[in-house]
Amino acid sequence: MKSEKAQDKILQLLKTEGAKTAVELGKTLDITSMGARQHLERMEKQDLVTSEEVSKGVGRPKKLWLLTEQAQSHFPDRHDQLTVDMLISIKDVFGEQGLDQLIEHRSKSTARQYHEAIDPLGDLESKVKMLVKVRSAEGYMADYEATDNGFIFYENHCPICSAASSCQGFCRSELEVFESLFAGLAKVERLEHILQGARRCTYSITSTS
């Protein structure tokens, strides 16, 4: 496997699945653990990954590899510093109320598009699958898994992180959009939040029927 291709796959795995050992990465990539370790060591020199020793029970500590802040630049980001500056300018010129109106307008437009894609679907899981598809197309690297009473919805990347960091109203409005999508079918609750230091944003979608 070519070095660049292997490194891209390692970045993707660490982004979507979290910290892993060289052995785990090697198995997934179908290469030896030594081969995976060599890729990781090269990536460490590029400040793309870092490692930490973790002890679990008896035996030697495991060396887990995880992404650095520098690695985040390898994933799509639709809102750069210009967007942040624009938000600040809107707030300065039009005040908090003007910024809230902007967020509300964006939220309504997003909700309308999502409802058009999701509302025609019959069951809860089909709706969750479509939300995963829609959000992944927007760069959120979404996924889901079933639970005893609903689903866990993941967003492994936030392509609007810069904008959301400067104005958390975006995150609040997105949660409200999700709640509207499943109104009457399920309760939506945010469990993990990238802006609060989590690796990804996680939501529980709990059936109410």
Structure-token pair, residue 62: 């495991």
Contact criterion met (CB below 8 Å) for 68 and 47: yes
Contact criterion met (CB below 8 Å) for 144 and 68: no
Average pLDDT over residues 71-90: 68
Query: Which fold would CATH assign to domain 3-74?
Result: Arc Repressor Mutant, subunit A (1.10.10)
> Helix or strand or coil: residue 105?
helix
Average pLDDT over residues 2-14: 87
Q: What band does 139 get if pLDDT is binned at 50, 70 and 90?
A: confident
Domains 3-74 and 81-207 share a fold: no
> Helix or strand or coil: residue 37?
helix
Average pLDDT over residues 118-140: 94
Contact criterion met (CB below 8 Å) for 156 and 141: yes
Average pLDDT over residues 175-185: 94
Determine what percent of the chain is predicted with pLDDT higher than 90: 57
Average pLDDT over residues 78-99: 69
Q: Given a cut of 90, is residue 182 above it in pLDDT? A: yes
What's the pTM value of the predicted model, to 2 decimals? 0.67
| Mean pLDDT, the chain, integer | 86
Structure-token pair, residue 40: 């990781």
What are the extents of the domains in the chain? Answer: 3-74, 81-207
Q: Given a cut of 80, is residue 166 above it in pLDDT? A: no
Q: Given a cut of 80, is residue 107 above it in pLDDT? A: yes
Tell me the CATH architecture of domain 81-207.
2-Layer Sandwich (3.30)
Where are the strands (E) in the chain, listed by range?
49-54, 62-67, 142-147, 150-155, 186-192, 201-207
Q: Given a cut of 60, is residue 79 above it in pLDDT? A: no
